[in-house]
């Protein structure tokens, strides 16, 4: 237990928020989580893929076995051409090889089930408050005070915004920056870019849909990501190139009519030679259509406030790193907080200068990694959408000849620099490709 007192206010109860709440509880750090909606475990959303870098942290938190029970581990991978023909694939053995290399498999599961696992592992549910939509954050010398729409107030030493793409905490950071004449440094919202839309769905019982599979279908101007979960669940994502790159407030909001149009435009797409989008849609449980933002903020924090997850690093879904990177960032915050609370001659609360130093370290560690993943993911999406004649030729005529080496190399570079929780034991799971923090810890890392 940290020797100095600290109260953390977590704003937002998605994957990042619940993972952070569980981490704080495991480290005996006092906190409250404020969720805007009536339910902590939201029913919205489709599937989520968890990769070894995220699963390692969830394993430290005691969640791994429950996740395995409620998910489907990936044992085959397919890269397909337009028309659904196989470009390159591995039909068996992917799970065993991934575990051999990295200690963990890839798994697909309902996002709602992941939230339930995190929620169930939190012992003190009284720390999780619903119907608490943030209205404002007031700065005082003794701490920050969060005001919610129902008039309640909550004081904390630090505020962590895990409240998604349209983060209210991020807006409070920008407002505070204006008050301190730092507006130009924090005026980053207008730089957030959106070049793609995503229509994602979740279906049940689609005849012929591959089981335990991670799949990709390349096309000109759009592509598919496919996943199969437990109990014949199918997850599907249509990534489409927008007519232009939009920024900030100009990023469009889609209507039900927009969703219906893109569905009709793609209804006859071949997912495999035997399955069309119409087959997925006819068995659909949920569908959502949204623009996809891509951005990593340079300034994640100000004063006692910091943002993590989609609130400050936004990545396309094709590499399945959105949720995994949110978990890593939560771990980095807890690592930094534990280090700060264990240092210094004072036995009292953290000073603002100590908080700034700790947040700076989190930001300095995480910005390069998330920026690299966002950039690499964008390039991968460009390739799958065959956006240039050169990329089209590469996908159709070169890519298969580089497999599986290119796949293993890409995954190794994506997983190796993952963040773990420094104060919790890493369960012993043999692997031939170690994480970097297991073999050569960097002194300044969190």
- Report the pLDDT value the prediction gives residue 444, as an integer from 0 to 100: 44
Question: Is the bond preceding residue 170 a cis peptide, omega within 30 degrees?
Answer: no
Query: Which tokens go with 424?
Result: 């919790």
H or E segment at 48? strand 47-50
Distances (CA, A) of 365 to 26, 189, 333, 428: 22, 22, 10, 25
Query: Which tokens go with 283?
Result: 């068995």
> Going residue by residue through the chain (446 aa), what tens digit of pLDDT does each one get?
557 899 999 999 999 999 999 999 999 999 999 999 999 887 667 899 999 999 999 999 999 999 999 999 999 999 999 999 999 999 999 999 999 999 999 999 999 999 999 999 999 999 999 999 999 999 998 899 999 999 999 999 999 999 999 999 999 999 999 999 998 889 999 999 999 999 999 999 999 999 999 999 999 999 999 999 999 999 999 999 999 999 999 999 999 999 999 999 999 999 999 999 999 999 999 999 999 999 999 999 999 999 999 999 999 999 999 999 999 999 999 999 999 999 866 788 999 999 999 999 999 999 999 999 999 999 999 999 999 999 999 999 999 999 999 999 999 999 999 999 999 999 999 999 999 999 855 544 45
Residues 73 and 39: beta-carbon distance below 8 Å = no
Is residue 183 situated within a structural domain?
yes
* Rounded-to-integer distance, Cα 392 and Cα 399, Å: 10
H or E segment at 113? helix 111-121
Is residue 307 situated within a structural domain?
yes
Check which CATH number belongs to the domain holding 340 and give it: 3.50.50.60
Is residue 36 situated within a structural domain?
yes
Residues 122 and 17: beta-carbon distance below 8 Å = no
Q: What is the pTM of this model?
A: 0.96
Q: What is residue 220's three-state secondary structure?
A: coil
**Total count of domains within the chain:** 1
* Rounded-to-integer distance, Cα 396 and Cα 210, Å: 22
Is residue 301 situated within a structural domain?
yes
Query: Which tokens go with 186?
Result: 């924090």
Q: What is residue 30's three-state secondary structure?
A: strand
What 8-state DSSP symbol labels residue 421? -
* Rounded-to-integer distance, Cα 85 and Cα 392, Å: 15
H or E segment at 406? helix 405-416
Residues 177 and 183: beta-carbon distance below 8 Å = yes
Is residue 82 situated within a structural domain?
yes
Could you list the residue range(s) of the whole structural domain that residue 360 is in?
A: 7-190+295-417
H or E segment at 139? strand 134-140
- Report the pLDDT value the prediction gives residue 269, as an integer from 0 to 100: 98
Is residue 271 situated within a structural domain?
no
* Rounded-to-integer distance, Cα 138 and Cα 131, Å: 20
Is residue 438 situated within a structural domain?
no
* Rounded-to-integer distance, Cα 186 and Cα 179, Å: 11
- Report the pLDDT value the prediction gives residue 127, as an integer from 0 to 100: 98
Query: Which tokens go with 217?
Result: 């279908």
- Report the pLDDT value the prediction gives residue 4, as an integer from 0 to 100: 87
- 143 sits in the region (left: phi over 0; alpha: psi -120 to 50; else beta) called left
Is residue 200 situated within a structural domain?
no
Q: What is residue 181's three-state secondary structure?
A: coil
């Amino acid at each position: 237990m940290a020797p100095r007192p600290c109260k953390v206010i977590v704003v937002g109860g998605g994957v990042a928020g619940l993972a952070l709440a569980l981490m704080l509880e495991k480290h005996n750090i006092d906190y409250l989580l404020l969720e805007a909606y009536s339910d902590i475990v939201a029913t919205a959303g489709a599937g989520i893929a968890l990769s070894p870098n995220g699963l390692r942290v969830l394993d430290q938190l005691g969640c791994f076995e429950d996740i395995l029970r409620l998910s489907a581990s990936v044992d085959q991978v397919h890269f397909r051409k337009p028309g659904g023909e196989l470009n390159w694939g591995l039909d068996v053995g992917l799970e065993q090889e991934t575990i051999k290399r990295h200690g963990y498999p890839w798994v697909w599961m309902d996002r709602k089930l992941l939230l339930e696992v995190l929620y169930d592992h939190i012992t003190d549910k009284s720390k999780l408050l619903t119907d608490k939509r943030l209205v404002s954050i007031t700065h005082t010398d003794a701490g920050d005070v969060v005001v919610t729409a129902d008039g309640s107030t909550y004081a904390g030493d630090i505020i962590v915004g895990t409240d998604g793409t349209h983060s209210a905490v991020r807006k409070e950071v920008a407002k505070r920056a204006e008050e301190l004449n730092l507006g130009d440094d924090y005026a980053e919202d207008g730089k957030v870019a959106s070049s793609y839309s995503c229509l994602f769905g979740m279906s049940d019982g689609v005849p012929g849909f591959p089981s335990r599979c991670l799949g990709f279908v390349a096309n000109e101007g759009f592509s598919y990501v496919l996943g199969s979960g437990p109990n014949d669940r199918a997850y599907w994502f249509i990534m489409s190139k927008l007519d232009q790159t939009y920024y900030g407030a100009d990023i469009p909001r889609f209507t039900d009519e927009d969703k219906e149009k893109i569905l009709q435009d793609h209804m006859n797409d071949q997912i495999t030679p035997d399955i069309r989008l119409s087959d997925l849609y006819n068995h659909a449980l949920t569908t959502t259509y949204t623009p996809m933002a891509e951005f990593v903020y340079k300034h994640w924090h100000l004063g006692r406030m910091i943002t993590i997850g989609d609130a400050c690093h936004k990545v396309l879904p094709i590499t399945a790193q959105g949720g995994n990177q949110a978990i890593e960032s939560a771990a980095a915050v807890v690592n930094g907080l534990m280090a700060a609370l264990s240092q210094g001659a004072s036995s009292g609360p953290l000073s603002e200068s100590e908080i700034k130093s700790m947040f700076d370290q989190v930001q300095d560690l995480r910005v390069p990694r998330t920026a690299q993943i966002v950039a690499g993911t964008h390039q991968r999406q460009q390739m799958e959408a065959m956006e240039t004649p050169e990329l089209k030729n590469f996908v159709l005529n070169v890519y298969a000849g580089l497999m599986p080496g290119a796949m293993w190399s890409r995954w190794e570079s994506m997983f190796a620099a993952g963040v773990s929780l420094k104060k919790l034991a890493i369960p012993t799971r043999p692997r031939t490709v170690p994480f970097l923090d297991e073999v050569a810890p960097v002194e300044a890392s969190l």
